[in-house]
Chains A and B, each alone.
Chain A
Amino acid sequence: MSDPSLTPIHSETPERPLSEPVLSVRDLIVEIPTRYAVLRPVDQVSYDIAPGEILGVVGESGAGKSMTGNAVIGLLDRPAHIADGEIWLKGRRIDNLRRDQMRAIRGKEIGMIFQDPLTSLNPLLRIGDQLSETILEHLPVSRAEARVRALQALDEVGIPAAAERLNSYPHEFSGGMRQRVVIALALCAEPSLVIADEPTTALDVSVQAQIIALLKRLCREKGTSVILVTHDMGVIAEAADRVAVMYAGRLAELGPVAQVLKTPRHPYTDGLVGSMPMASAGKERLRQIPGSMPRLGSLPDGCAFHPRCPRAETRCRQNPGPTLGADHGRAACWFPVGEVS
């Protein structure tokens, strides 16, 4: 980035978190070595999350959203691994920790919520036992006390008759209720950060809003930060404070939700926002982004989005977009929407 011509075009001052960030991801690169090539599902991603903040991460399937979350919590499936970059949690570097040190952080400092509540709970263990074992693992409490906390946790996520339900097995709950149990499990050791990986994708539309509202309320109350991974712009608009848009492993745009939705800078974000169904404008056909996201093995030269981009020029075909970091502007684009270069 020494060549001055490669410096991105700034349009506004970058969003700086008000206080010390809970999580700092710096130039994170995740690589998967395969027989033919080394794939990069996450390429130089950087972001900060302030205490209590909800950061939405959107993108298509395979854009690297989940992979980033898995890298943060240290659950990358081999042979995927962090090739470069740093991850800091409350001022402590965690990407290079030993396996048992990282395990102690999981659940205690960073909680995780998975997509499908039907398969996230062990079918053979009572949910009270699954809660207790998590609490006992991370907090210095007695068995009886863990039981009380498990009860509180269930109560907080709005499970009726929580005391009786402690003895229930997962199959005795509906999908929405199970996702509430999963949230209770992710929050029961009071982590400072929760990674919610598509928490509502597998749920009924009517239940989705409830779950998002619940997650939002609990995290506000406890001051927990959230990385909300989703491909649903509606969920982002509803829940997130800031949004990170990912495309082909890179961060395309990062900014406050209202701004990004109202004045998208990256052409890809512009396309995404344009394709959002609006209740008020139901007559028109929804806009589409032509083409589809390139596969990891066959990324084009230059900016990965240029074959689909209406604004692409020679420079886009030759140089990858500017790397977007905490202080590199809002959009990783040479020719952002709404600006004249």
Chain B
Amino acid sequence: MLAYIIRRVFQSLLVLLIVGLVAFSMFRFVGDPVDNMLGQERTQADIDRLRGDLGLDQPFPVQYWKFLGGAIQGNFGVSYRQGRPVADIIVERAPATLELAAVSGLFAILGGIGLGVFTAIRRNGLAANAIMTLSLIGVSLPTFLIGILLIYVFSVELDLLPSFGRGEVVNLGWWSTGFLTQSGLLALILPSITLGLYQMTLIMRLVRSEMLEVLRQDYIRFARARGLRERAVNFRHAIKNTLVPVITVTGLQLGSIIAFAIITETVFQWPGVGLLFINAVQFVDIPVMAAYLMLISVMFVAINLIVDLLYFAIDPRLRVDGRAT
């Protein structure tokens, strides 16, 4: 078990290195940061000097090597645009994105599993069919459109919820939270639904099909033949067996909730790392982009590792602990 974890961590490090390499090789195609940093009245000498200062005249493997050297010490360089250390900027922005992702992730998981189980158990019911039809909308509508529709209905027409920003935040040390104020909580609702709706419908459809599959299994039939109550059959015997495949997809979906918060954060002007990244791309702010991409890959790799460990927790057949004879 320990050897397995260590092996996985090493694999993960390799993945991170490759992701960084690919990212760096692509930055040169995004544009030239120097254009944005110097004004209209620049000379070739200015450009060359700045290039030299930033190390942009070096081949990208060298740039990458320097970035790695800094990253290991927690130094991600200085933002071209803001002139502040990237690490500081990201730490400042991360709470907004993490809180948004946590709420929409929770919404997606609870809603997805709950509705998935419901539509599987009542698969011929009217409500279940209505939910399944509506879920097609969630799967097929693009995120930005959902966000704009929600803003139109709940902010513009009904004037119930704020259309942009985080509301008031409370600072707990370096962490700024919107959970403790009413306006902060209200501001979370629309972006969370926007961000989580696609994942929720996806999880729901997956849970439903897995659950239907499990309900056909012999051990469910045997559980019924033993006279167990429907509730025990559904929630004790069936759900646990649906979870293994569901966890795989759900884990990766939660990763993409953070990664693709970019669109939602843009629509709702949410001051998180996604918005930071979009602005960085526009300005060709290489240190910010590099740090963001590395952060996202660390997260995906970590989620994958956690998902694999969860399998062990759920499915005893994967545990080899010598108890079996």
Minimum distance in angstroms from B232 CB to a CB of chain A: 7
Chain B residues within an 8 Å CB radius of A189: 226-227
The residues in B between 210 and 232 inclusive whose CB is less than 8 angstroms from any CB of A are 217-219, 221-230, 232
Evaluate whether A73 and B225 lie within 8 angstroms (CB atoms) in the complex, with A133-B232, A168-B323 already known. yes
Measured CA separation A122–B232 after assembly (Å): 13
Contact of A182 among B222, B240, B314, B315 (CB under 8 A): B222
B7 within 8 A of A: no
Measured CA separation A122–B235 after assembly (Å): 13
Measured CA separation A112–B240 after assembly (Å): 24
B324 within 8 A of A: yes
Chain B residues within an 8 Å CB radius of A116: 218
A220 within 8 A of B: no
B140 within 8 A of A: no
Minimum distance in angstroms from A119 CB to a CB of chain B: 4
Evaluate whether A123 and B219 lie within 8 angstroms (CB atoms) in the complex, with A75-B224, A169-B317, A172-B324 already known. yes
Q: Are A106 and B224 in contact (CB under 8 A)?
A: yes
Q: Are A137 and B219 in contact (CB under 8 A)?
A: no
Measured CA separation A123–B219 after assembly (Å): 8
Evaluate whether A112 and B229 lie within 8 angstroms (CB atoms) in the complex, with A120-B218, A122-B219, A171-B317 already known. no
A37 within 8 A of B: no
Chain B residues within an 8 Å CB radius of A168: 323-324
The residues in A between 148 and 194 inclusive whose CB is less than 8 angstroms from any CB of B are 167-169, 171-172, 182, 185-186, 189
Chain A residues within an 8 Å CB radius of B217: 119
Chain A residues within an 8 Å CB radius of B315: 123-124
Majority-rule SS of B interface residues: helix
Q: Are A121 and B228 in contact (CB under 8 A)?
A: no
Measured CA separation A121–B219 after assembly (Å): 5
A199 within 8 A of B: no
A143 within 8 A of B: no
Measured CA separation A114–B222 after assembly (Å): 7
A108 within 8 A of B: yes
Return the CB mask of A100-131 against B: 1 if under 8 Å, else 0.
00011111100110101001111111000000
Measured CA separation A320–B314 after assembly (Å): 56
B51 within 8 A of A: no
A138 within 8 A of B: yes
Measured CB to CB, the nearest residue on chain A to B220 is A122
Evaluate whether A124 and B227 lie within 8 angstroms (CB atoms) in the complex, with A114-B218, A119-B218 already known. no
Return the CB mask of B291-325 against A: 1 if under 8 Å, else 0.
00000000000000000000000111100000111
Measured CA separation A105–B230 after assembly (Å): 14
Measured CA separation A125–B324 after assembly (Å): 15
Chain A residues within an 8 Å CB radius of B323: 167-168, 172
Q: How many contacts A-B (CB < 8 Å)?
A: 85
Q: Are B226 and A124 in contact (CB under 8 A)?
A: no
Minimum distance in angstroms from B317 CB to a CB of chain A: 5
B241 within 8 A of A: yes
Measured CA separation A120–B218 after assembly (Å): 5
Chain A residues within an 8 Å CB radius of B241: 122-124
Minimum distance in angstroms from A223 CB to a CB of chain B: 20
Chain B residues within an 8 Å CB radius of A103: 224, 227-230
Return the CB mask of B224-252 against A: 1 if under 8 Å, else 0.
11111110100011001100000000000
Evaluate whether A124 and B316 lie within 8 angstroms (CB atoms) in the complex, with A133-B236, A172-B325 already known. yes
Evaluate whether A106 and B236 lie within 8 angstroms (CB atoms) in the complex, with A119-B219, A120-B219 already known. no
A208 within 8 A of B: no
Minimum distance in angstroms from A81 CB to a CB of chain B: 15
Chain B residues within an 8 Å CB radius of A185: 222, 226
Point out which of B226, B240, B241 has the most chain A C-beta atoms below 10 A from its C-beta: B226
Q: Are B224 and A121 in contact (CB under 8 A)?
A: no
Q: Are A75 and B221 in contact (CB under 8 A)?
A: yes
Measured CA separation A112–B228 after assembly (Å): 13
A44 within 8 A of B: no
Minimum distance in angstroms from A76 CB to a CB of chain B: 11
Minimum distance in angstroms from A174 CB to a CB of chain B: 10
Contact of A124 among B218, B228, B232, B240 (CB under 8 A): B240
Chain B positions within 8 Å of A, measured between CB atoms, are 217-219, 221-230, 232, 236-237, 240-241, 314-317, 323-325
A-B contact pairs, 19 of them (CB 8 A): A75-B221, A75-B224, A75-B225, A104-B227, A106-B227, A107-B227, A112-B222, A114-B222, A120-B222, A123-B317, A134-B226, A134-B227, A137-B229, A138-B227, A168-B323, A169-B317, A172-B323, A172-B324, A185-B222
Closest 5 CB pairs of A and B: A107-B227, A106-B227, A112-B225, A119-B218, A107-B226
Known: A124-B315, A171-B324. 19 other contacts (CB 8 A): A103-B228, A103-B229, A106-B225, A107-B227, A114-B218, A122-B219, A123-B317, A125-B240, A133-B228, A133-B236, A137-B226, A137-B232, A138-B227, A167-B323, A171-B317, A172-B325, A186-B225, A186-B226, A189-B226
